[in-house]
Amino acid sequence: MYWHERKSFIFAIFFFVFIVSITFYLRSLPLHTFWSSLLFGTTVLVIFAGYDYYRFQSRHKERLHQIIPQVILKPESQAEQDMLQLLNEQKEYYEKKLAKIKQFDEDLTDVVRMWSHQMKVPLSALDLMGQTKDFTVEELNEQTFQLENYLKMLLHYLRLNHEQTDYRFTNVQIKPLIQAVVRTFAPLFIRKGLSVAIEGNATWTTDEKWLSFAVEQIISNAVKYTKQGKVSIYIAPKLIQISDTGIGILKEDLPRLFEHGFTGYNGRRDKKATGLGFFLAKEVADRLSLNIHVDSEIDKGTTVTLRRNDED
């Protein structure tokens, strides 16, 4: 910084030495006189430059201290030491909070990017229907259902990561909850000719709304990637298993299945996949103290298990 501010003076000094050297050379003056003059001038210049650098650094530290006052915290009593520890803990807390906000902002950017990609499919289909005037009521309902479902996914993701999101844990009958979710996807089941079987029942102490959302994401994936066969749902006091006879998932893709944006081989083959479904289901499961596990075989189907963590 110092040399940058003083560069014009440095150039002037070098230019002056150059002019003097040329003068001595053209007039054939004695060289010992030149070297003596240069040594004397350099000595004076070094002394002046050292003093000027000292003053520059002093002014710089003074200006910096005016902007950010230096605080030396040296506790002299137990009370002051406790206060200093409390301040350090508050500092760490807010640093972690800022890091969490930054990470959420990055994740939200990725999620919105993927979500907008997913929204393009039904919007393009609706646009084509409007241009050609060639569509059925069932096709129109299917595309509007997809739009509504994708919009719900984004809204739930935003609410899921909001600090004021509340969870209401009550005794929930699992079978009626799953039946309600299945009825939501009834048009897709009918259009693809898929059957659905629900076996068992149980009562869980959980948040009905969020559990329903997690089950929706799993069933949505099951319907999307099953061309024929059925979706089977088994309910027990400790777990919910949702199985399909779809295209399955590669074994090497299973460890990364819950990362947002990861679609795997079959997801990339299906150009409409974004990898949000399992990611959101895992986020909800973590908040409800549930384990989520996926077993799958290519061309045989996939089984997703939601298991309670509690010991009662």
pLDDT in tens, 258-302: 876 666 555 545 544 556 788 889 989 998 999 999 999 988 999
Question: In this predicted structure, what is the pLDDT of residue 271?
Answer: 45
Confidence band (pLDDT; 50, 70, 90) for 236?
Answer: very high
Q: pLDDT of 176-197, one tens digit each?
A: 999 999 999 998 898 889 999 9
Q: Which helix (H) or strand (E) holds 237?
A: none
What does the DSSP assignment read for 12-45? HHHHHHHHHHHHHHHTT--HHHHHHHHHHHHHHH
pLDDT > 90 fraction of the chain, expressed in percent and rounded? 27
Q: Give the highest mean pLDDT range of 101-115, 153-167, 206-220, 270-284.
A: 206-220
Q: pTM for this structure?
A: 0.61
Q: Evaluate whether 260 touches 276 at the Cβ level (below 8 Å).
A: yes
Q: Is the pLDDT of residue 227 over 80?
A: yes
Confidence band (pLDDT; 50, 70, 90) for 253?
Answer: confident
Q: Evaluate whether 250 touches 302 at the Cβ level (below 8 Å).
A: no
Residues 42-69 as b/e (b if ≥16 CB within 10 A, e otherwise) read eeeeeeeeeeeeeeeeeeeeeeeeeeee
**Cα distance between residue 285 and residue 216, in whole Å:** 12
The domain made up of 98-308 has a fold known as: Heat Shock Protein 90 (3.30.565)
Q: Evaluate whether 267 touches 250 at the Cβ level (below 8 Å).
A: no
